[in-house]
Amino acid sequence: MKAEQSCYAIGIDVGGTKIAGGVVHGETGEILVCKTIATQAERGGAAVLDDCVALINQLYTAAGEQKLPVNGVGIGLCELVDPAGHITSAYNFDWRALPVRERCSQRIPARLEADVRAAAHAEAIYGAGRDYAHFAYITVGTGISSAFVLDGRPWAGARGNALVLASVPLTTTCPACGATVNTILEEYASGPALVRRYNEQAATPIHSGQALFAAVNAGDKVAAEVVRSAGAALGVSVAFLCNVIDPEAVIVGGGLGLAGGLYWESFEEATRRHIYAEATRQLPILPAALGVNAGVIGAAAAVLRE
């Protein structure tokens, strides 16, 4: 951050279910003003962009009222974003052909970043990654995303697609008939995947991850096996990452990643068991420190720490 620049920026975390925004103090990572709205992605990318621009304007006005001079706005997006800030996927809604940067920079400069790299950057500066120059960051919730922090900054790769853990292939066995099932990690170990897998086996359906974990705590064996196997599958995939990049630490965020309990226990056990080198096997595996705020803080940091 240059000396003549303001130490405040707006961070916007655009997710599949909600858009969170805040005015962030660059020195401390504190969110001084915050607002959250529903994404409602089914309306299409243009409507979501309109809401995002409106949220930026609201935060800019609120910052002015509190005499917080903002330096710019960073937008962390739940899509693939290349190093130049171009959006290259449309898994949740399509912004690829829309003038996103131009719309968002009508009042202050805007920068686009992948949400997982923004969150990893926040953990590197203010959170659980402060003591590590190189670490793997995994977030598990509605989806599964990952990033590698190298020398304190998230590494995007040549095209912005480094460490796409969600699409790691898995071969599992159907619990009902024993048939071999080919799938990918996100369709097996994310929050919605756990609910779907439980409902495929249970007599009474559930509708949320909270209900699934309540069933685990109540002694439901089907729920326990769904959660255990999902955590183990994530652990095998993260162990593979560790075998390839040898990070100093692994940091895990997201609603499901921070849920603790059986999911975390099976994840950590499988990760350590499948790491090849004994010295790496004992690396720190830590919960993210910034919780649900990491995306907003990291998006602002993309502006303040560029």
Q: Output the CA angle 161-163-167, nearest 5 degrees.
A: 90
pLDDT bucket at 166, cuts 50 / 70 / 90: confident
Total residues found in the chain within this entry: 306
Q: What is the mean pLDDT of residues 275-287?
A: 97
HSE (side-chain half, CA atoms, 13 Å) at 54: 11
Nearest in space to 56 (alpha carbons), one of 140, 139, 112 = 112
Amino acid identity for residue 260 in this structure: G
Nearest in space to 229 (alpha carbons), one of 275, 192, 269 = 269
* Residues whose CB falls within 8 Å of the CB of residue 97, separated by 6 or more in sequence, listed in order: none
Taking only the tens place, the pLDDT of each residue in 73-83 is 999 999 999 99
pLDDT recorded at residue 174: 67
Q: What is the mean pLDDT of residues 44-72?
A: 97
pLDDT bucket at 177, cuts 50 / 70 / 90: low
pLDDT bucket at 182, cuts 50 / 70 / 90: confident
Taking only the tens place, the pLDDT of each residue in 16-39 is 889 999 999 999 999 999 999 999
Q: What is the mean pLDDT of residues 255-281?
A: 95
pLDDT recorded at residue 3: 41
DSSP letters, 94-120, are: --TTS-HHHHHTSSS-EEEEEHHHHHH
Which architecture characterizes domain 135-288 according to CATH? 2-Layer Sandwich (3.30)
Amino acid identity for residue 36 in this structure: T
Q: Three-state SS for 207?
A: coil
**Mean pLDDT across the chain:** 94
pLDDT recorded at residue 302: 94
Q: What is the mean pLDDT of residues 289-306?
A: 93
pLDDT bucket at 178, cuts 50 / 70 / 90: low
Domain with CATH 3.30.420.40 in the chain: 8-127+292-304, 135-288
Q: What is the mean pLDDT of residues 107-117?
A: 97
pLDDT recorded at residue 144: 95
Give the DSSP letter of residue 42: G
Q: What is the mean pLDDT of residues 48-75?
A: 97
pLDDT recorded at residue 281: 96
Cβ-contact 23, 8 below 8 angstroms: yes
Cβ-contact 76, 11 below 8 angstroms: yes
Ramachandran category for residue 51: left, alpha or beta (phi over 0 → left; psi -120 to 50 → alpha): alpha
pLDDT recorded at residue 305: 80
Which architecture characterizes domain 8-127+292-304 according to CATH? 2-Layer Sandwich (3.30)
pLDDT bucket at 62, cuts 50 / 70 / 90: very high
pLDDT recorded at residue 4: 42
How far apart, in whole angstroms, are the C-alpha atoms of residue 264 and residue 30? 28
Taking only the tens place, the pLDDT of each residue in 232-245 is 999 999 999 999 99
Q: What is the mean pLDDT of residues 172-179?
A: 68
Nearest in space to 290 (alpha carbons), one of 63, 80, 163, 130 = 130
* Residues whose CB falls within 8 Å of the CB of residue 77, separated by 6 or more in sequence, listed in order: 14, 87, 95, 112, 113, 114, 115
DSSP letters, 214-259, are: HHHHTT-HHHHHHHHHHHHHHHHHHHHHHHHH--SEEEEESTTTT-
Q: Output the CA angle 131-115-91, nearest 5 degrees.
A: 145
Longest dimension (CA), the chain: 66
pLDDT bucket at 167, cuts 50 / 70 / 90: confident
